[in-house]
A and B are shown apart, each in its own frame.
Chain A
Amino acid sequence: MKSGSNLEKILEKGLFAVTGELGPPKGNDIEVVKKKAEFLKGYVDAINITDNQTAIVRMSSIAAGALLVQMGLEPVIQMVTRDRNRIAMQSDIFGATALGVKNILCLTGDHQSFGNQVDSKNVHDMDSIQLIDCVRIMRDGGTILGGEEQIEGQIKMFIGAAANPFGDPFEFRVIRLAKKINAGVDFIQTQCIYDMKRFKEWMRMAGDMGLIEKVHILAGVTPLKSAGMARYMNKNVSGITIPDEFINRMAKAQKPAEEGIKICVEQIEELKEMDGIHGVHIMAIEWEHKMGQITEMAGLLPRPAVS
């Protein structure tokens, strides 16, 4: 076992994994974390904690992750290369593992111009691929970056990264996946999938390159809440395209929220059957209370207990 995390155990056993997502509060209100976490409890194998997502200042992902550990839940802490240099990131990895965190998701992070600190300076001392490599060196080599300093203790991290099959240039997207695998990634969570055709094409290309045997791919999904949200995301969120078919279904629905969940469940059913998909990452952002319903309807319950 690389990390001994619940997520790693489930994936290594060949079981279909389910992960969820929790956005920490814009402050230090522990109750927000607890409430969201309670909604996810029992429905997922691990919970991603976002790291100042869209460059909005929030409680640190490691602190919120540690609160989850205290609650007996398993966090995947996200770490973006935007806000910290290699000294701070390695130090935070020491700290996170000391607090019981066993999964990390290495990300570049959205540009600071999207957030509430637009005049900040982005760091990107490392990029996400270099961060993956760094965590792998810390875990497998027992040293920090540069290879000289031995780490006091052991870094047991299950290393994840994101993949966006919907970003451009499309043909490069699998090459980027290959680079992440070469850097040492154990699992991948994809950007939310709506354009199934393009996703399948990406998976086929990954298969042709022999990549799907080398990594656990968790397919990302996000339930749509309304036609307005679908249109907004389609237009404004970079790297997301929503086919008209879904937008129309949402627009026509009597109860759009229910329709959004139905679409999401259909997608999960389809993804479950796909070769090389080892799990789903359900990002029900500010909709954590719907996670029970979604996982139930998609036949993902009960979550397996592994040891």
Chain B
Amino acid sequence: MIKAEQKPVDEILDFLKPHRKILLAGCNACVAVCHAGGEKEVGILSSALKMARKKAGQKIEILEDCSTRQCEPEFVQELKEKAEEVEAVLSIACGVGVQTVARMFSDIPVYPGLNTTFMGETDELGVWIERCQACGNCVLHVTGGVCPVARCAKQLLNGPCGGSQDGECEIGNDVPCAWQQIYDRLKTIGQLHRMEEIIPVKKWGRESRDKGPRTISREDLKL
């Protein structure tokens, strides 16, 4: 799922400076799971902001809400009444949610309260790691279920590079070498021959981030 971290409070305070009444909108999906933008965090951040502004002698009024999923217009619509009352929205959903709010309430400013960081999994309580970069053409069947795009520091498709040492990536800091992990997995599942195949150049330009926003259009689901 999507992982995010709250921006430093000072940065948020800085862009909220011109406003005296805002809506703080969280999201109960991914960002709630990683404890960055759910209902609980809405409450905590709201108090922190109010306290800081009070101390600075510049009180702020904050309406609070938390959508089921802020990336769905139909849920964001539910914020409409509150949005009409305020000067701006501070969204602590992921970057997608922030944009849905901006699109739905086009006449007021919307600010991001989080830094959206990656799509990842839970490693242990309180630790999340990146696992997928949505490259648009998954190769996990060739790489033993370990993603080289998200997990190799050089996104190599025919790795490991010469810097792989004792399971660690050349960049150090205890970062595991993704290609060592791929190798180990393929060995375990008896598919080491996969390592011999040359994976051809990827179609970054047609399948990945480089051609503007990617769109999925499903005729069978349209009304």
A binding-site residues for B, Cβ under 8 Å: 82, 86, 108, 110-111, 113, 122, 124-130, 133-134, 145, 162-164, 167-169, 172, 175-176, 178-179, 182-183, 191, 238-239
- B73 an interface residue at 8 Å Cβ cutoff? no
Indicate which residue in A122, A133, A164, A178 contacts B196 across the interface (CB closer than 8 Å).
A178
CA distance A164 to B159 in the complex (A): 12
21 A-B pairs with C-beta separation under 8 A: A86-B201, A108-B156, A108-B161, A113-B171, A124-B154, A127-B154, A127-B159, A128-B158, A129-B198, A130-B198, A130-B201, A134-B201, A167-B160, A167-B162, A167-B163, A168-B167, A168-B177, A168-B180, A175-B195, A238-B163, A238-B164
- Count contacts on B: residues with CB < 8 A to the other chain: 27
Identity of the chain A residue whose Cβ is nearest the Cβ of B163 in the assembled complex? A238
With a cutoff of 8 Å between Cβ atoms, the chain B residues found around residue A176 in the complex are 158, 160
**B188 CB to nearest A CB, Å:** 13
- B129 an interface residue at 8 Å Cβ cutoff? no
CA distance A145 to B204 in the complex (A): 14
B binding-site residues for A, Cβ under 8 Å: 153-167, 170-171, 177, 180, 183-184, 195-196, 198, 200-201, 204
Q: Is the CB of A172 within 8 A of B195?
A: yes
Q: Is the CB of A129 within 8 A of B158?
A: yes
Interface centre among A125, A126, A169 (most CB of B within 10 A): A169
Q: Is the CB of B160 within 8 A of A130?
A: no
With a cutoff of 8 Å between Cβ atoms, the chain A residues found around residue B154 in the complex are 82, 108, 111, 122, 124, 127
Q: Is the CB of B157 within 8 A of A127?
A: yes
**Known contacts A110-B170, A111-B171, A113-B171; is A127 also within 8 Å of B158 by CB?**
yes
**B174 CB to nearest A CB, Å:** 14
Q: Is the CB of B198 within 8 A of A238?
A: no
Q: Is the CB of A183 within 8 A of B198?
A: yes
Indicate which residue in B155, B171, B180 contacts A124 across the interface (CB closer than 8 Å).
B155
Identity of the chain A residue whose Cβ is nearest the Cβ of B156 in the assembled complex? A127
